């Protein structure tokens, strides 16, 4: 295909000029790109390309408007490096400090410093105290290394996914338009930009449509569209409108630009260098855990200080000799370690890696892993239709003139059989509008391929029409794509936008001998319901023009409805002969003239375009709806087309569909709501369907929105503009505590994608949509959405299980050991070493197994989590920690301590409230014997807590399901890491109790066999009690026990 070039677009006596005067001689590259000044701010200030004329720009960069750069010039300039902005440097010392002192590590540092002080100078040096200090330091080192490793791994996985995004750009090289990798752009390239494209390098605009608009929000922070221009509007390079800067977007119109800076030499590249390092942001779950960490840390410090205060004020004076300052501090350290669920931050870090790996497998780019957590709360999904629910592979299926209609595959057959082919002369005009009023272009590199296999840059609708016009060949009527391109040149264009819903092109005939009326044509294509009002006549199949009467309008409207109800997108193709227009008018003045000419059009015909739904959409929507998420369609397409597709994919399931009339009637009867958070459908409400148009949306009141959001589960919004899409999202977000996700792929979806809690873009979509979205489905796989929802719910569910598992032993069983020592005058039943060791080894290896739990059977059948009210830790969770699991665990461990003492004839009152009486001669025992009793008793308590947690671990794996249906050894909920964790915790206990070094330093001792066996019965008891609770919840879902369930 021979491209229409600007040189062909120069004025030929009359017509509308968009080709700008350029050098007629190719200027060879004679200068290298100047070295950038060392100071980025000075480099930005030194930019002057915007002050040059268009001719001077081409001269400076040795380029040409129609030829672009030659291959030899490209090869030379490639030596300057790739067009890639280097990421901001990572400040590793800050990250290292965060690893070392972040999370609960700062409590470990406090404990370490105090332990060192207890070793010396506060007390006589003891191996036990030094051992505890070394252990604490080891804990800090290992946890810091783990955080660093997990963070590095998650970042590595996400970088590998980001590398899959192919940023491409259309450039003119050697006189041909080509699509290349954006990283291969060089200075001097002529880049062609269309609506939705990301600007790949800093460019000077040298040619533009009158409606050119940029989104510079990434650069300036301002969301308003910035008009483009050909001449400088400011001396400041950052404010002038004739520069297109890297990482900004074309949101409307088209333009060509000459690249003057690439990579780190661009304005964005220099700003990145000036900005320093990237800022660290916490994910939603990390914020919750950090909040929980602060609460726990404050409690730990409070009880630690209280313990020391009680020693200093009470125990030291009333019971001298009960504790030394050194032992009091070491024992009080148990308060710090007892409250620290060390496994929680580790599991949060692991969750990020689990998410990243799972998403990477599906080729889903998650810009911020917090998005997945938010997806678990999603209650409403607003989806665009074209390219999102549908495949975006449009094909022209039907053609209709005023008096006849054709299926595309029968056109040639019918014309061949006709005795007089001129009876179908209208095809020539139809072919002219379809081929010339078109914003899509073939990639020159694929022109040798069959039409269906060629690469096209453009939106799906234009792509379908371009393929149709290229393939349509009727020699008898002179219909030929090559002849068409050579016969006309494009003079002016108003690209399609979501507000007008039409595209306009002005073309003039080439080789016209004289200036006369009819040499220039205004070609328009767009929505029939919009363009019908501008048409006064219509073309019949034989090419004759007849007036467009009310009856013929109704006939065409009926045909549009028929095609639309079959799921086809219907376009009207129109044309009009225009008078001579003065040469040299500014583009905006020409645009005003064209708007004034938008009347008296001749309707050439209607085109029906089929865009089938993606095969994975219907089952995915069924899964999403079962998860309690309402799915709405928000599209700019015709109402009947939208409803047809919505029925095909399962968004609309009801036969009766309400309209604005039913909404207004319900709003007039509805009582005003007390709070917008209460506006949501009830479980008992019937499923109602609704369709609204953009015109309806503009007129809705707050009461109407309350009815829409509160009563309807199935909604289609049709013929909506970008602003209306954004308003729909904001109105839904404001009601019912909804978390709203939006899926889309076009420029018109970008405002809604930004306004949503979660924006999801298709990988094949526009650059603007992909920038606005938080998630990009690189394989256009809609089925990844329910997977991501499940992942978000699963991560939150598993972290809740981890918290519930860690708390009973840590902040309860261990803390009770310190409490009984300080307040009840008993020898401490669990040493600070055992507490630290348990928290960072036994508890951690068992809690990690919970992060790899598979989804429970009802996870995707539960209601979405309310992000505002459903927290990671709530009163139900603490009820189970302190009044259920914990209330069974610590009394069992304490009972084992007293049982062992009783076996040595030390009764309850001989052990409790003894304070400083526990000394040589107490109850006839020597000090060494009493110490041995305590050493063994401490190990018994430690082993009982460790093994007793088996019951808690197996209990919290399921919220409602019995372990008989979800055991960890086989079946759908198989998780062998549970068995690994259980085995590991026993091995740690054995090493601690029987290791000679541990016995000498930490005073651990072997324990009698019965004290190994009894804890297993306690674990079984905890599990059976929880199984009973779950059975009651399942049988009586509205009972008090079910209400208490976590």
Show which residues are catalytic. 384
Distance (Å, whole) CA 851 – CA 859: 15
Question: 550 near 44, Cβ under 8 Å?
Answer: no
Instruction: Give the 3-state secondary structure of residue 547.
Output: strand
Which two structure tokens, joined as six digits, stand for 471?
């393939």
End-to-end Cα spacing for the chain: 66
153 membership: H or E segment, kind and range: helix 127-162
Cα–Cα dist 746/226, whole Å: 19
Look at the block and give the residue holding tokens 């297993």: 1016
C-alpha to C-alpha distance for 905 and 665, rounded to whole angstroms? 83
> What does the DSSP assignment read for 776-825?
EETT--TTHHHHHHHHHHHHHHHHHHHHHHHHIIIIIIIHHHHHHHHHS-
Residue 49, helix vs strand vs coil: helix
Residue 48: CB partners within 8 Å, gap ≥ 6?
237
d(CA 1040, CA 154): 42
**For the purposes of burial, counting CB atoms within 10 Å of the CB of 122, is it exposed (0-12), middle (13-18) or buried (19 or more)?**
middle
Alpha carbon 921 to chain centroid, angstroms = 70
What is d(CA 1012, CA 1017) in angstroms, rounded to the nearest whole number? 10
For 657, residues 6+ apart whose C-beta sits below 8 A from its C-beta are 643, 689, 690, 691, 716
Helix (H) or strand (E) holding 1013: helix 1010-1035
Q: Cβ distance 621 to 702 under 8 Å?
A: no
CA distance readout (Å), 250 to 57, 95, 214, 500, 746: 21, 37, 5, 17, 12
Q: Return left, alpha or beta for 846; rule: phi > 0 is left, psi -120 to 50 is alpha, else beta.
A: alpha
Please state whether 518 falls in left (phi above 0), alpha (psi between -120 and 50) or beta. Answer: left
As a whole number of angstroms, the distance between CA 845 and CA 236 comes to 60
User: Which residues does 476 contact at the CB level (< 8 Å), separation at least 6?
Assistant: 415, 421
Question: Are the C-beta atoms of 422 and 559 separated by less than 8 Å?
Answer: no
By the 8 A CB rule, do 670 and 703 touch?
yes
CA separation for the pair 135, 129 (Å, rounded): 10
In whole angstroms, give the CA distance from residue 435 to residue 479. Answer: 11
- SS3 letters for 557-612? HHHHHHHHHCCEEEEEEEEEEECCCCCCCCHHHHHHHHHHCCCCEEEEEEEEEECC
Backbone φ, ψ for residue 775 (5° rounding)? -130, 135
* 179 contacts 445 by C-beta, under 8 angstroms: yes
Q: Which phi and psi (to 5°) does residue 474 adopt? A: -130, 90
Distances (CA, A) of 607 to 202, 395, 477, 556: 39, 10, 19, 12
Sheet with 176-181, edge to edge strand ranges? 176-181, 168-173, 190-193, 255-261, 202-208, 243-244
Please say whether the beta carbons of 272 and 246 come within 8 A: no
């Amino acid at each position: 295909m021979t491209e229409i070039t600007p040189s062909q677009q120069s004025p030929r006596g009359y017509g509308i000029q968009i080709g700008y005067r350029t050098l007629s001689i190719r200027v060879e590259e004679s200068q290298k790109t100047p070295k950038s000044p060392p100071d980025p701010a000075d480099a930005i200030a030194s930019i002057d390309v915007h002050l040059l004329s268009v001719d001077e720009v081409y001269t400076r960069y040795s380029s040409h408007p129609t030829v672009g750069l030659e291959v030899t010039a490209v090869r030379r300039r490639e030596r300057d490096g790739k067009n890639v902005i280097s990421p901001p440097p990572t400040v590793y010392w800050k990250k290292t400090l965060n690893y070392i002192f972040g999370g609960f590590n700062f409590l470990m540092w406090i404990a370490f410093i105090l332990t060192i002080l207890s070793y010396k100078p506060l007390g006589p040096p003891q191996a036990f105290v030094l051992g505890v200090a070394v252990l604490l330091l080891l804990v800090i080192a290992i946890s810091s290394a783990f955080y660093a490793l997990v963070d590095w791994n998650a970042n590595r996985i996400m970088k590998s996914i980001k590398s899959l995004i192919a940023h491409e750009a259309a450039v003119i090289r050697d006189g041909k338009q080509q699509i290349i990798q954006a990283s291969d752009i060089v200075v001097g390239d002529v880049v062609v930009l269309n609506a939705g494209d990301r600007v790949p390098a800093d460019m000077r605009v040298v040619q533009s449509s009158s409606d050119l608009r940029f989104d510079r929000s990434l650069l300036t922070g301002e969301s308003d569209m910035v008009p483009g221009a050909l001449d400088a509007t400011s001396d400041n390079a950052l404010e002038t409108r004739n520069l297109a800067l890297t990482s900004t977007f074309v949101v409307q119109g088209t333009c060509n630009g000459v690249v003057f800076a690439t990579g780190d030499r661009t304005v964005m590249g220099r700003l990145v260098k000036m900005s320093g390092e990237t800022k660290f942001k916490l994910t939603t779950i990390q914020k919750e855990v950090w909040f929980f960490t602060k609460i726990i840390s404050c409690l730990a410090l409070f009880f630690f200080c209280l313990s020391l205060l009680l020693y200093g004020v009470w125990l030291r004076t009333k019971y001298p000799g009960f504790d030394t300052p050194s032992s009091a501090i070491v024992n009080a350290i148990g308060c710090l370690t007892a409250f620290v669920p060390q496994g929680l931050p580790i599991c949060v870090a692991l969750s990020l890696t689990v998410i990243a790996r799972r998403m990477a497998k599906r080729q889903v780019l998650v810009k911020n892993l917090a998005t997945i957590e938010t997806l678990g709360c999603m209650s409403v999904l607003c989806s665009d239709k074209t390219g999102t629910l549908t495949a975006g592979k449009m094909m022209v299926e039907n053609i209709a003139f005023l008096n006849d209609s054709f299926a595309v595959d029968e056109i040639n057959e019918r014309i061949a059989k006709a005795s007089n082919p001129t009876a179908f002369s209208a095809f020539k005009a139809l072919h002219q509008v379809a081929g010339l009023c078109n914003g899509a272009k073939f990639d020159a590199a694929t022109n040798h391929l069959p039409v269906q296999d060629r690469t096209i840059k453009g939106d799906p609708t234009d792509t379908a029409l371009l393929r149709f016009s290229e393939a349509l060949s009727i020699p008898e009527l002179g219909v030929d794509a090559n002849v068409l391109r050579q016969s006309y040149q494009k003079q002016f264009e108003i690209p399609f936008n979501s507000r007008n819903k039409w595209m306009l092109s002005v073309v003039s005939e080439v080789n016209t001998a004289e200036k006369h009326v009819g040499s220039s044509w205004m070609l328009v294509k767009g929505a029939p319901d919009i363009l019908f009002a501008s048409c006064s006549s219509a073309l019949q199949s034989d090419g004759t023009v007849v007036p467009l009467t009310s009856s013929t309008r109704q006939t065409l409207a009926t045909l549009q409805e028929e095609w639309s109800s079959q799921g086809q997108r219907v376009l009207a193709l129109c044309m009009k002969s225009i008078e001579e227009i003065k040469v040299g008018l500014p583009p905006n003045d020409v645009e005003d003239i064209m708007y004034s000419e938008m009347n008296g059009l001749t309707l050439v015909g209607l085109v029906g375009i089929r865009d089938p739904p993606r095969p994975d959409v219907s089952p995915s929507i069924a899964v999403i709806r079962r998860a309690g998420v309402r799915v709405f369609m928000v599209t700019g397409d015709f109402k009947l087309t939208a409803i047809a597709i919505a029925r095909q994919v399962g968004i609309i399931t009801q036969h009766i569909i309400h309209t604005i009339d039913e909404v207004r009637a319900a709003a007039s009867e509805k009582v005003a709501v007390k709070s917008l958070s209460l506006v949501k459908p009830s479980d008992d409400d019937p499923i109602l369907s609704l369709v609204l148009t953009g015109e309806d949306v503009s007129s809705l009141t707050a009461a109407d929105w309350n009815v829409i959001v509160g009563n309807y589960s199935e909604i289609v919004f049709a013929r909506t503009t970008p602003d209306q899409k954004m308003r729909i999202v904001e109105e839904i977000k404001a009601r019912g505590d909804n978390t709203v996700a939006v899926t889309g792929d076009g420029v018109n979806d970008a405002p809604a994608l930004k306004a949503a809690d979660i924006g999801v873009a298709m990988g094949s979509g526009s650059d603007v949509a992909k920038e606005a979205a938080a998630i990009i489905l690189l394989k256009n796989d809609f089925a990844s959405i329910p997977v991501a929802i499940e992942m978000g719910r699963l991560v939150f569910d598993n972290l809740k299980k981890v918290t519930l598992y860690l708390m009973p032993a840590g902040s309860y069983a261990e803390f009770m050991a310190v409490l009984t020592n300080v307040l009840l005058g008993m020898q401490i039943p669990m040493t600070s070493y055992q507490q630290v060791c348990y928290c960072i080894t036994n508890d951690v290896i068992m809690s990690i197994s919970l992060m790899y739990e598979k989804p429970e059977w009802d996870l995707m059948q539960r209601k979405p989590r309310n992000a505002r009210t459903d927290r990671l830790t709530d009163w139900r969770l603490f009820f189970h920690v302190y009044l259920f699991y914990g209330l069974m665990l610590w009394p069992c461990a304490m009972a084992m301590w007293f049982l062992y003492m009783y076996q040595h004839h030390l009764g309850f009152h001989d052990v409790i409230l003894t304070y400083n009486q526990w000394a040589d001669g107490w109850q006839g025992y020597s000090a060494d014997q009493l110490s041995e009793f305590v050493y063994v008793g401490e190990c018994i308590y430690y082993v009982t807590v460790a093994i007793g947690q088996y019951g808690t671990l197996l209990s919290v794996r399921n919220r409602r399901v019995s372990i008989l249906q979800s055991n960890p050894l086989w079946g759908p909920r198989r998780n062998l890491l549970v068995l690994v964790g259980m085995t590991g915790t026993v091995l740690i206990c054995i090493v601690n109790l029987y290791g000679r070094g541990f016995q000498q330093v930490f005073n651990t001792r072997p324990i009698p066999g019965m004290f190994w066996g009894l804890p297993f019965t306690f674990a079984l008891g905890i599990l059976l009690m929880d199984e009973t609770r779950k059975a009651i919840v399942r049988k009586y879902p509205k009972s008090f026990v079910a209400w208490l369930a976590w």
